[in-house]
């Protein structure tokens, strides 16, 4: 299966993003902390080329804290980017951390010229929310569905930095079916592009493999069902009711599972792990700016952590937030 969901405004959005990149000092790529690989847009990687880049793993309050640490450690091996995790729970920390990183990455601008940064990424990952967090008030429209932002929006932060929000961007054809299904499961691809039973069956398989205990607890099951189909049937029997003739309402069961995964009802889940092979070059040579930033922000909260900390074996919870916390390290 290759999924095509490329609404008309995205052709224009891509063209406008390509035109914007050269004038920017920093590219802020927003990723969903539950999907740090699948929510990375190859179009953006190509457009930004060698621009300094901050990867912000948003919604880390919904992601598995141990997995977020593993992802930050993985990204710390990439000398071309700096990765942090964020959540809307701690806006002050996000503001402080991003301002400090951007200032460090755009020293060439000097003290008199405003730093320019753009925020980009796939739909619904929280780009406009991040703009609002950085502004300290609601200036950009946000919504819990993909493709809310249709045009670029430029704002000037209280500290003087010029920031541009951009529309969520997909690539014209997603050939990797698992990537498409993972993106749909977190709501970056609209429900209209796929059918719920296909999506929920995929989600159920993923959950049974990665978080069987959370599945058992949420749906009050005696044990983890053997197959994704069995799980959907159980959810159907317990929550969706039966149709005429005692048939399980699979469609409703599928909708329940998808919505509950998205909303974090099963707990904090991450749907993919970093590659097993870490980046192996120059592990002792993090760039000087990143070090300075880490020092300056040594008191930053656990909710916003930079990749250098994670790589150094920092075992703080990168995203202490509400909800169940499967992280045994958390103090």
Ligand X SMILES: Nc1nc2c(ncn2[C@@H]2O[C@H](COP(=O)(O)OP(=O)(O)OP(=O)(O)O)[C@@H](O)[C@H]2O)c(=O)[nH]1
Interface with ligand X, residue 87, by CB under 6 A: yes
Q: Report the site for ligand X in 161-190 (rule: CB under 6 A).
A: 167-168
**Residue positions counted in the chain:** 331
CB of 32 to Mg ion, least distance (A): 13
Contact with ligand X (CB under 6 A): which of 25, 29, 61, 93?
A: 61
CA 321 to chain centre: 16
Kindly tell me which of 183 and 254 has the beta carbon lying closer to ligand X.
Answer: 183
Interface with Mg ion, residue 94, by CB under 5 A: no
CB-nearest residue to ligand X: 168
Kindly tell me which of 189 and 231 has the beta carbon lying closer to ligand X.
Answer: 189
Interface with Mg ion, residue 133, by CB under 5 A: no
Q: Which does 88 bind (CB under 5 to 8 A by kind): Mg ion, ligand X, none?
A: ligand X
Q: Are 87 and 319 in contact (CB under 8 A)?
A: yes
CB of 7 to ligand X, least distance (A): 11
Interface with Mg ion, residue 128, by CB under 5 A: yes
| Per-residue exposure over 168-191, b if at least 16 CB sit within 10 Å of its own CB, e if not | bbbeeebeeeebbbbbbbbbbbee
Kindly tell me which of 99 and 148 has the beta carbon lying closer to Mg ion.
Answer: 148
Kindly tell me which of 201 and 268 has the beta carbon lying closer to ligand X.
Answer: 268
Contact with ligand X (CB under 6 A): which of 70, 139, 142, 216?
A: 142
Interface with Mg ion, residue 41, by CB under 5 A: no
First vs last Cα of the chain: how many Å apart? 44
Angle between helical axes of 228-235 and 250-262 (0-180°, round to 10): 100
Cα 91 from Cα 238, distance rounded (Å): 39
Cα 168 from Cα 154, distance rounded (Å): 15
Cα 311 from Cα 283, distance rounded (Å): 9
Interface with Mg ion, residue 149, by CB under 5 A: yes
CB of 143 to Mg ion, least distance (A): 8
Q: Which does 87 bind (CB under 5 to 8 A by kind): ligand X, Mg ion, none?
A: ligand X
Q: Give every CB contact of residue 33 below 8 A, 6+ residues apart in sequence.
A: 57, 58, 59, 60, 62, 63, 68, 71, 85, 270, 319
Burial, 193: exposed, middle or buried (Cβ in 10 Å; 0-12, 13-18, 19+)? middle
In this structure, the strands spanning 247-248 and 53-58 are: unpaired
Interface with ligand X, residue 143, by CB under 6 A: yes
HSE on the CB side for 325, CA within 13 Å?
15
Interface with ligand X, residue 123, by CB under 6 A: yes
Cα 99 from Cα 297, distance rounded (Å): 11
Contact with ligand X (CB under 6 A): which of 82, 128, 201, 301?
A: 128
Interface with ligand X, residue 271, by CB under 6 A: no
Interface with ligand X, residue 274, by CB under 6 A: no
Interface with ligand X, residue 144, by CB under 6 A: yes
**Which span (17-25, 140-148, 208-216, 323-331) binds ligand X, by CB under 6 A?**
140-148
Q: Which residues bind ligand X (CB under 6 A)?
A: 58-59, 61-62, 87-88, 123-129, 142-144, 146-149, 167-168
Q: Which residues bind Mg ion (CB under 5 A)?
A: 127-128, 148-149
């Amino acid at each position: 299966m290759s999924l095509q969901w490329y609404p008309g405004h995205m052709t224009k959005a891509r063209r406008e993003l390509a035109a914007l990149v050269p004038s920017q000092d920093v590219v802020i790529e927003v990723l969903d902390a539950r999907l740090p690989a699948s929510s990375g847009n190859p179009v953006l990687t190509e457009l930004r080329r060698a621009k300094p880049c901050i990867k912000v793993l948003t919604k880390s309050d919904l992601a598995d804290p141990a997995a977020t640490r593993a992802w930050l450690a993985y990204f710390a091996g990439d000398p071309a980017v700096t990765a942090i995790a964020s959540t809307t729970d701690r806006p002050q920390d996000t503001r402080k951390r991003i301002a400090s990183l951007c200032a460090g990455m755009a020293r060439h601008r000097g003290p008199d010229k405003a730093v320019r940064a753009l925020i980009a990424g796939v739909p619904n990952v929280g780009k406009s929310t991040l703009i609002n967090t950085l502004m300290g008030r609601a200036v950009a429209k946000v919504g819990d569905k993909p493709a809310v932002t249709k045009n670029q929006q430029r704002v000037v932060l209280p500290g003087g930095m010029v920031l541009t929000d951009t529309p969520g961007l997909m690539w014209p054809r997603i050939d990797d079916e698992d990537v498409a299904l993972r993106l749909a499961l977190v709501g970056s691809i609209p429900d209209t592009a796929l059918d719920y039973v296909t999506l929920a069956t995929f989600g159920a398989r993923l959950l049974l493999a990665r978080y069987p205990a959370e599945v058992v607890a949420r749906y009050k099951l005696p044990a983890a069902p053997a197959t994704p189909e069995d799980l959907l049937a159980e959810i159907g029997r317990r929550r969706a009711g039966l149709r005429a003739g005692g048939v399980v309402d699979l469609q409703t069961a599928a909708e329940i599972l998808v919505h509950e995964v998205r909303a974090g009802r099963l707990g904090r889940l991450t749907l993919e792990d970093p590659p097993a092979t870490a980046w192996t070059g120059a592990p002792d040579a993090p760039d000087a700016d990143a070090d300075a930033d880490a020092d300056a922000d040594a008191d930053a909260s656990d909710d916003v952590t930079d990749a250098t900390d994670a790589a150094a074996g920092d075992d703080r919870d990168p995203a202490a937030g509400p909800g169940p916390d499967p992280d045994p390290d958390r103090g």
